[in-house]
Amino acid sequence: MEYRHLGTSQVKASVITYGAWAIGGTMWGGSDESDAIKAIHASIDAGVTSIDTAPIYGYGKSEELVARAIAGKRDKVQLFTKFGLRWDSTEGEYFFELQEDGKTTKIYRNAKKKSIITECENSLKRLNTDHIDLYQCHWRDHSTELDETMEALAQLLKDGKILAAGVSNFSAEEIATSNKLVPIASDQPPYSMVLRDIEKDVLPYCRENNIGVIVYSPLQRGLLTGKFKPDHKFAQGDHRASQPHFQPEYIKRVNAFLDQLKPMAEKHQTTLGNLVLNWTIQQPGVSAALVGARDAAQATENAKAAHLKVSAEDIAVVDKLLATLEPVVAK
């Protein structure tokens, strides 16, 4: 496993980082707690020592599951979590509604100093730790000045409650402004072969300013594994059913592209998913790729992506094929 520094901080991320969104259950159609814990154990055993979570993932459930999984292993892992999405307060900027099990929950972006300090304390308790390795602003709260948000992060750094400050889903301009106020170790944007808009400005800015980039959804929420068919039926509560990437016509187009990649995957004796992950972590400026796993076998398989020896020539072939597949631009 390869580990890369995040910005100028002392925090390193394993190039394959465990993404704990799905195990929280929210928006993913539920999860099995025992399998989730085994998946985290298998990840750690395979060298995936960075775990990324957030309070909003299952309203604290994901963080609590992570804490259970790393009990007795805290010195072996880097904990990345976030702040700024509140379901238990109406203060801040209204974001969206979650509708699950016949219940509607309104989510607000809140990056005010007082809220951040409170959220940090709550996450420390749920994660059963005395510090968070990387603390990230989940989404920009436009009702709060960045000065106030960064002031809170500076205080948490000074207090030793966090080791590095990061942002997520920020524009290049917002990252630049934040970085003038407090050292930003990393940004966490969505990025995949079929969603590449950060290549325009976010990736270049981060490369030029030594800021790490931890990308989420590198497999486009499973689409790039080749396991989805145009007539796929999603479980109730699974947010992917309404996503543009999962409409029948686009699934057909992606599967046709993946069929062209199969010979390369076979040459490297790997899966399509791992070939895609290796392409991702080889992109200039990308520090790590977040990958979820619901069970131990999946987690062990994901970790193998870091060990593939995919040449620059093979990457060029992939890029040539990708040029014929129009990406979906983030809204």
* 114/107 Cα distance (integer angstroms): 18
Q: Quick check: is 250 catalytic? A: no
Distances (CA, A) of 77 to 18, 21, 131, 133, 145: 11, 17, 12, 9, 33
Q: Which of 287, 308, 269, 302 is nearest to 48 (CA)?
A: 302
If one counts every other C-beta atom within 10 angstroms of the C-beta of residue 47, the result is 15
Query: E strands, 101-143, where?
Result: 103-109, 134-137
* 59/174 Cα distance (integer angstroms): 27
DSSP output for 209-234: TT-EEEEB-TTTTTGGGT---TT--P
Q: Which of 86, 195, 89 is nearest to 139 (CA)?
A: 86
* 23/4 Cα distance (integer angstroms): 25
Question: Which of the following is catalytic: 3, 18, 57, 108?
Answer: 57
* 311/217 Cα distance (integer angstroms): 23
What residue type is assigned to position 65 of the chain?
L
* 84/200 Cα distance (integer angstroms): 26
Tokens at residue 53, please? 């979570």
How many C-alpha atoms does 250 have within 13 Å on its Cβ side? 16
Eight-state DSSP code of residue 192:
B
Distances (CA, A) of 92 to 87, 104, 269: 11, 18, 50
Instruction: Say if residues 6 and 185 touch (Cβ distance below 8 Å).
Output: yes
Catalytic residues: 57
